[in-house]
Amino acid sequence: MQYRRVCLEAFGYTLPEEIVTSSELERRLAGAYERLRLPEGRLELMTGIRERRFFPPGTVPSSVSVVSGEKAIRASGIDRRHLGALVHGSVCRDHLEPATACAVHHGLRLSAECMVYDVSNACLGILTGLVQVANMIELGQIRAGLVVGTECGRQLVENTVRRLNEDLSLTREDVKLLVASLTIGSGSVALVLCEQRLSDTKNLVTTATALARTEHHQLCQSDGLETFMRTDSQQLMNEGVATGAETFSQFLADAGWQRGEIDKTICHQVGVAHRKLLFERLDLDPQIDFATIEWLGNTGAAALPLTMALALEAKHILPEDRVALLGIGSGINCQMIGLHWRQTR
């Protein structure tokens, strides 16, 4: 997919105040660790995650998405009457129906003519929403759109801790399928896209490439971030990186870029081993990447765009940078997006 008139104008994000370290989780898991003879420090050693954050118990995603969405709209400087689409793309939702986007639409006081819906694509939900809104703008159907999502991972982590402590039938092999659940954190992010004529920044979305390897759809399955998740982490990492390498080759061709012309990257935040293997496979310098996995954990669909917002704030991404967003999600689905960055708002 090629774009000529779509700009990524602004971000807004919200981080929880409560910090839960991997050491604290292991203290809560003392009984299971002792029973299964697991070494202390194993969780951080395996994942590279030092800590993650949680919103208060009972937080509904839409309430935080409204806050992040308002920040993004204000940062963009775009009149909200121009927002012709609102997509809510996180794994977490308020209800099965109606769409969580409806509550966010109401909270943000957007136009009744604004298209409103949720999109579900595991950790690629917000990126998928970005592509859909970019397509609408490129086709001239809307002038601007908002993509937002909020992941509330507390319940999944607490349920996993409880099960590990209480289910005496679990073996060390069973634990391997539950470790990924302990990496989950919480976070919220929103982004505004608009047509070039409406943009002050001229941050161009240039390319989007997608690839599906759904023969691996059973490697990570859950009923949502509120219940249990079972993940074959090793196999998912291997197949995900292989899919990412295949997608990256097509992405370079679609974008018309050489590998060395990419100035900065942002990828999905899974774990340090995944990141190391991915950059080795793509033959990219990890110094051009910005990571948050160590202190935010895996924040689901919010992870990649939230990390980009923080990278902009840290001035990791500079004017005239060519930026590659490298999204890999369970399914396995892969989406990579090219940006020509000009100005941060």
- Domains in the chain (CATH in brackets) are 204-340 (3.40.47.10)
Q: What is the mean pLDDT of residues 228-254?
A: 85
pLDDT surpasses 90 at 237: no
Percent of the chain at pLDDT above 70? 97
Nearest to 150 by CA among 281, 299, 29: 299
Residue 219: the pLDDT is: 63
Residue 70: the pLDDT is: 98
Catalytically active residues are 97, 123
| Torsion from C-alpha of 116, 69, 301, 194, nearest 10 degrees | 70
Residue 228: the pLDDT is: 64
149/162 Cα distance (integer angstroms): 27
Lowest mean pLDDT among 81-90, 217-226, 270-279: 217-226
Provide the 3-class DSSP secondary structure of residue 331: coil
User: Nearest 5°: phi and psi at 52?
Assistant: -145, 170
pLDDT surpasses 70 at 226: no
What lies within 8 Å, CB to CB, of 88 at 6+ separation is 61, 62, 65, 99, 100, 101, 104, 117, 118, 119, 129, 148, 149
Alpha-carbon distances, residue 15 vs 18, 181, 311 (angstroms): 9, 19, 14
Residue 224: the pLDDT is: 55
Q: Identify the band that residue 223 occupies on the pLDDT scale cut at 50, 70 and 90.
A: low
What lies within 8 Å, CB to CB, of 25 at 6+ separation is 43, 157, 161, 182
**Identity (one letter) of the amino acid at 141?**
Q
Angle at 278 between CA 284 and CA 1, to 5 degrees: 75
pLDDT in tens, 177-208: 888 899 999 999 999 999 999 999 999 999 99
pLDDT in tens, 286-303: 999 999 999 999 999 999
Token code pair at residue 70: 């308002």
pLDDT in tens, 99-148: 999 999 999 999 999 999 999 999 999 999 999 999 999 999 999 999 99
Percent of the chain at pLDDT above 90? 83
Q: What is the mean pLDDT of residues 4-20?
A: 98
175/39 Cα distance (integer angstroms): 13
46/236 Cα distance (integer angstroms): 15
**Identity (one letter) of the amino acid at 334?**
C
The H-assigned helical ranges of the chain are 22-28, 30-36, 42-47, 61-76, 100-108, 125-138, 154-166, 172-178, 233-255, 272-282, 293-296, 303-313
Q: How many CB atoms lie within 10 A of CB 265?
A: 24
What lies within 8 Å, CB to CB, of 27 at 6+ separation is none
Beta bridge partners, 118, equal 88
Residue 283: the pLDDT is: 95
Judge contact between 52 and 154, C-beta under 8 A.
no
